[in-house]
Structure 1
Amino acid sequence: MAATCVLDASAVLRVITHDPMGAAWARRLQEAPLVLAPELMLTEVANALRRLQRAGSLAGLDPQLLLTDARDLVDQIEPDRHLQVEALALARREAADLLTGDQRLQRLAAQVLP
């Protein structure tokens, strides 16, 4: 049975911009019974999309549509006011897999998640 997934902004960006690593994650998200993200994720994605657009790195993609795609990846946005390290804490609390493009966070998750 597929595991619940928790997304952070780096993973969301890879999925919505069709990064090669994002393709594998997109398949996992389709199989996951539940996809969670901390509420800060949408703000982080919006800021990253703005930077990418200014740099001309979106290859004609509409950042507003990409932000909608980001929101559509997630079944449930979790309030993160009480989470210390939002995505990692949420994954730990929900006994979920953490999908992240942040290598440092992934190493930490490998140490603390089941």
Structure 2
Amino acid sequence: MKKTDEKRDVFVAIADPTRREIIRLLADSDELPLHELTPHFQMGRTAVSKHLMILREANLVTNRKAGRETKYRLNAEPLQEVKDWLSFYEKFWNERAAMLKDILED
């Protein structure tokens, strides 16, 4: 398998704040080309493009050619893995919140 064909872990992909912001921007739009994403960051097109590549490897972003530009779209489906992982701990936090409430009421 080529390095570029490897599937990247979704948790690794969302660990970076820049990539989380790219996900947010794409979530707010149908799709965006690189030149519309780049001004949101204090980095060049090449750096933003590298972040998009990592998101593509995690299947969080899809892209399509439209003439001379590439447009990017969010694929939120892999985020279900993150939601499932976090929901496992929801019971823990709910129990802790209930205990704190009981302590504060006493």
Higher helix share goes to which structure?
2
With structure 1 as the length reference, what TM-score do the two structures score?
0.27
With structure 2 as the length reference, what TM-score do the two structures score?
0.28
Whose Rg is larger? 2
